[in-house]
Amino acid sequence: MSRTYKERIQVFAVVRFDADATDPEMQVTVKEVVHELDTAVAEVERLNRLNAQKGCRYFWQATRLFPPGTAAGELTPPHVAT
């Protein structure tokens, strides 16, 4: 395996967007992260039907899940002397 390749799992985030929120940081919320695209698509469709009148919109976004100790930018813990 290449040193530049980081082990990762493709996952899908179900994201809520609230256009009415005054604070930009409150406009976007990750509702959940799932392993299957079909699950994300179905959940987005369900939530958009359920919350159609609430002024929010759901969408999915592909992303990566890095196992512990492999995340991009994660520091290797210092060696602990025994």
**What is the pTM for the complete model shown?**
0.76
- Residue 35: which of 7, 65, 57, 59 has the closest Cα? 65
- Map out the domains of the chain as residue ranges: 9-64
- How far apart (Å, rounded) are the C-alpha atoms in residues 30 and 11? 13
- How far apart (Å, rounded) are the C-alpha atoms in residues 58 and 41? 10
Share of the chain above pLDDT 90, in %: 52
Instruction: Judge whether 66 and 5 are in contact, CB under 8 Å.
Output: no
Res 57 pLDDT > 50: yes
Six-digit token string for 75: 């520091």
